[in-house]
Amino acid sequence: MNRKSMTMSGLALTAISTVLGCNGQFPLGLIGGGSANRDVLPDAITLEISELGDEESNAARMKDEEAARCTGDPAIDRTLRAGAVVTHAFHRLTDRALALGARIRNDIDDPTQTQVEGMFPVLGGVTAYKADFAAFDIDGDGTADGSGMANVEPVAVRIWTDSGAGFQPFLCALVTTRPSTDNLGAGEIFIMPSSAIPDAPADFFVHVVYDRTDSAHKWNEAFTTGHMRPNVNASTAHHRVDVRTNANDQVERTIRSTTTFSEHPLGFADYAFAAHFQRGGTAVLLSGLSTGGTTQVDFSNVCVDISSCTIDAGGTACSEFDTQDMSFIDAAAASQLMFPADFPSTPTF
pLDDT at 189 over 90: yes
pLDDT band at 36 (very low <50, low <70, confident <90, very high): low
pLDDT at 9 over 90: no
Please report, for the chain, the start and end positions of each structural domain, with discontinuous segments joined by +: 3-336
Q: What is the pLDDT of residues 199-226, one digit of tens each?
A: 999 999 999 999 999 999 999 999 999 9
pTM of the model: 0.86
Query: What is the chain's mean pLDDT, rounded?
Result: 83
pLDDT at 30 over 60: no
Omega before residue 111 within 30° of 0, cis: no
